[in-house]
Structure 1
Amino acid sequence: MAMFHPIDLGELFDFTLKVAIAFVLATAIGAERQYRQRSAGLRTNVLVAVGAASFVSLGMHLNGQAGASQIAAYVVSGIGFLGAGVIMKEGSHVWGLNTAATLWCSAAVGALCGVNLAAEAGVLTVAILAGNTLLRPLVNRINRTPMDEQSAEATYEVHVLTQAEHVGEVRDLLAEQLESASYPVREIEVSERSEDVTELAATLVSTAVHPEEMDAVVAALEASPLISHASWSSSTAD
């Protein structure tokens, strides 16, 4: 039994062409990401695309269109693990979602090349580049627009500082004050600022608030002798 099948020059050329197209298109995507110093840059996007093209091409070679469909399904789910590696979360702030989405789209470009849909892969590449470049001024303009806390969907947090020995009492007081103002608490995170100072951050269930009401809650909290400082903040990073 032969270890390798005889080389079919036609199939080899077809495979090389698929990988080459995926390589060129992903280079355009990756170059834009590299220019903006993203964690997944030129090489990562190229490797994702040519890998997807190779796997889908392998599936088609082994089992025709059915094999390509099966492999493509695994590529879609498998790229999620790679994308998760570039997403970082700190409190209510999340970074890397756009980079992960770009990697996911690069895999789609490669998969399209793997099933001989080079024109469609080119259209998707243009759409990815447009999303990452042409939409940027619009995003920046929206981000600079003052947010109306009464209508915007955002993540709201109330922060208080206290001494370590009063954490339990302050936690109850924080929850009580917010509940009485009809702002239920989703969770309260406790973190040590120093040996003597502990911060409690209460994340609200609400996605919209009245600033005056939140200011009143903060003022009531600061009136407590157990709390040295209180404040509230909003974020739309999610």
Structure 2
Amino acid sequence: MTLEFVWRLLAAFACGVAIGIERQMRQRTAGLRTITLVASGACLFVSLGMLLGTGVTQIAAYVVSGVGFLGGGVIMRDQGSIQGINTAATLWCAAAVGVLCGTGFYGPAIAGTLVVLASNTVLREVSRAINSAPMKNADMVREYQLQIVCRTEDEVHIRAVLSNAMHSAPLQFQSLTSRDCEGEPPRLEVTAKCRSHPKDQARLEQIASRLSMEIGVSSVSWSANEAELTPE
């Protein structure tokens, strides 16, 4: 029994090292030591259940819960984006590999280790290739702001041109406001806000070029916010 326990612990240690080296090379929050400790610890808990003859399934469930708290510690929110989810998932999988080693299922444990490594290496490159592809097929939306400075007497005409252009283009018209500009002669700034897919940005540039040709317009500019995923 002692020898079998040692083999199981060594197997969990080796699988943890294999997964942890990949994480350490990428300088992740949970690196070589953390991943190895999670796999080895999961193996120890399950092995304890087998040595005492208690329910291994129940102990494995406790291991999953404990690793869940550990994984939550590596997930961070940074300027609206979530960081560390992949590291937390790797910790979770490392615990599963440790449980398999602790119960003596070496083949499934090795297979699980290979799957984790493939997910963090091969699929990483696939994800990068997808992310670098054109965004025309992605469900994304970007907010644009178009500003036109014109003569006060041309306000009605400019607003009409903007409204017609926005409704005829693939743009989601949000608002249209006007405010007086300081200085002489009297000028007015008309601001239009809209939302659209980034692939339709060229249409907004066409509208800006069209407005810049109006006689009463002195300046035209537009800006865009960061693209966001559309809600499902």
TM-score w.r.t. the length of structure 1 is 0.62
CA distance in 2, matches of 1:180, 1:231: 14
Q: Does the 8 A contact of 2:142 with 2:197 survive in 1?
A: no
- Of 90, 103, 114, which aligns to 2:91? 103
Name the counterpart of 1:62: 52
- The gaps in structure 2 that reach 5 residues or longer are 146-171, 176-194, 209-221
- 1:142: how far off? 1.0
CA distance in 1, matches of 2:77, 2:143: 16
- The gaps in structure 1 that reach 5 residues or longer are 1-10, 160-178, 183-207, 220-228
Q: Does the 8 A contact of 1:92 with 1:155 survive in 2?
A: no
Are the structure 2 counterparts of residues 155 and 116 from structure 1 closer, same or farther at C-alpha, using a change threshold of 3 Å? farther
Are the structure 2 counterparts of residues 58 and 140 from structure 1 closer, same or farther at C-alpha, using a change threshold of 3 Å? same
CA distance in 1, matches of 2:79, 2:111: 37
Superposed, which structure 2 residues align to 1:48-197 within 5 Å? 48-64=38-54, 67-148=55-136, 151-154=137-140, 181=174
Q: Does the 8 A contact of 2:93 with 2:116 survive in 1?
A: yes
Q: Does the 8 A contact of 1:76 with 1:107 survive in 2?
A: yes
- Of 7, 15, 22, which aligns to 1:17? 7
Name the counterpart of 1:30: 20
Superposed, which structure 2 residues align to 1:220-235 within 5 Å? 231-235=224-228
CA distance in 2, matches of 1:105, 1:157: 39
- 1:136: how far off? 2.2
TM-score w.r.t. the length of structure 2 is 0.63
CA distance in 2, matches of 1:21, 1:72: 17
- 1:129: how far off? 0.7
* Superposition RMSD in Å: 3.0
CA distance in 1, matches of 2:53, 2:139: 48
Name the counterpart of 1:40: 30
CA distance in 1, matches of 2:102, 2:125: 34
Are the structure 2 counterparts of residues 147 and 52 from structure 1 closer, same or farther at C-alpha, using a change threshold of 3 Å? same
CA distance in 2, matches of 1:119, 1:43: 23
- 1:89: how far off? 0.9
Q: Does the 8 A contact of 2:143 with 2:196 survive in 1?
A: no
CA distance in 2, matches of 1:51, 1:156: 46
CA distance in 2, matches of 1:134, 1:70: 34
Secondary structure at 2:227 match in 1 = strand
Larger of the two Rg values belongs to structure: 2
CA distance in 2, matches of 1:38, 1:158: 36
CA distance in 2, matches of 1:157, 1:43: 44
CA distance in 2, matches of 1:209, 1:83: 37
- 1:156: how far off? 6.1
Name the counterpart of 1:194: none
CA deviation digits over 1:60-89, x for unaligned, max 9? 22234xx11001011112111111111111
Secondary structure at 1:38 match in 2 = coil
Are the structure 2 counterparts of residues 15 and 155 from structure 1 closer, same or farther at C-alpha, using a change threshold of 3 Å? farther
CA distance in 2, matches of 1:103, 1:71: 17
Q: Does the 8 A contact of 1:158 with 1:233 survive in 2?
A: no
